[in-house]
Amino acid sequence: GQNIDQPTEMTATEGAIVQINCTYQTSGFNGLFWYQQHAGEAPTFLSYNVLDGLEEKGRFSSFLSRSKGYSYLLLKELQMKDSASYLCAVLDSNYQLIWGAGTKLIIKP
Amino acid sequence: GAVVSQHPSRVICKSGTSVKIECRSLDFQATTMFWYRQFPKQSLMLMATSNEGSKATYEQGVEKDKFLINHASLTLSTLTVTSAHPEDSSFYICSARDPGTDRNIQYFGAGTRLSVL
């Protein structure tokens, strides 16, 4: 079956750096997405990786290793507003998005 | 990024009534839109894929007669929850892909919180 694993919850300190990992096993691969979802709101797009390597976008970076079925989202200079759930999703061979359960990130002052 | 508008943001209705939710792509034409359902503290669950000009494709376990989807134009898809019951109370979210890009990114509407009394 298809499976995406990410930690349920993480805690970090304001101003610090946090890395949220995601491992996947899917039938085919057409890209990996990271979305941010604040409580009670819809997800917002953060990043899309289809090739191996690191993509940096401001304070957020996303890394992909297709051979290892692994990705991470790196958040730098954490701010209180970064408290949210971070969803990892993989586009499979049928172009269906397979969603992880999300990682709830708690930022402490 | 592309903008997807969803309306209403919140609806409270009596058991047995029907509720229609609209999803619009504002600055692009979407041949395909997606409808999700999300329960508290759970991940997104795809309900159906809405295809412009044809029937929607429903995921296993989703009742097509209960959740009616109409994708009448390239910018509008609607989800109607028919004869709603309290167990239908949930957060419903639509999304759309912008075919003008190659990035397969799904952009989400703001979501509709449905409460059935």
- Residue B59 pLDDT level (bands cut at 50, 70, 90): very high
In sequence order, which residues have a C-beta less than 8 Å from that of residue B117 and are 6 or more positions away? B12, B13, B14, B15, B86
Q: What is the DSSP letter of B60?
A: T
Whether the predicted pLDDT of B88 surpasses 70? yes
Residue B103 confidence (pLDDT): 64
Per-residue pLDDT tens for B15-39? 999 999 999 999 888 888 999 999 8
Give the E-state strand segments of B1-117 in sequence order: 4-7, 10-13, 19-25, 32-38, 45-51, 57-58, 67-73, 76-81, 90-97, 106-108, 112-116
SS (H, E, C) B31-49: CEEEEEEECCCCCCEEEEE
Contact call for A101 and B107, based on CB within 8 A: no
Q: Which of B83, B112, B116, B101 is nearest to B1 (CA)?
A: B101
Give the E-state strand segments of chain A in sequence order: 3-5, 9-13, 18-25, 32-37, 44-49, 53-57, 60-65, 70-75, 84-91, 97-99, 103-108
Of A31, A41, A48, the CB nearest to B110: A41
Whether the predicted pLDDT of B100 surpasses 80? no
Contact call for B104 and A43, based on CB within 8 A: no
Residue B41 confidence (pLDDT): 79
Residue B27 confidence (pLDDT): 86
Contact call for A30 and B46, based on CB within 8 A: no
Calculate mean pLDDT across residues A17-35.
96
Cα B9 versus chain centre, distance: 12
Calculate mean pLDDT across residues A101-109.
96
Per-residue pLDDT tens for B107-117? 999 999 999 99
Beta partners for residue B46, in sequence order: B36
Whether the predicted pLDDT of A2 surpasses 90? no
Calculate mean pLDDT across residues A90-98.
89
Q: What is the chain A residue with the closest CA to B42?
A: A101
Per-residue pLDDT tens for A43-59? 999 999 999 999 999 99
Q: What does pLDDT average to over chain B?
A: 91
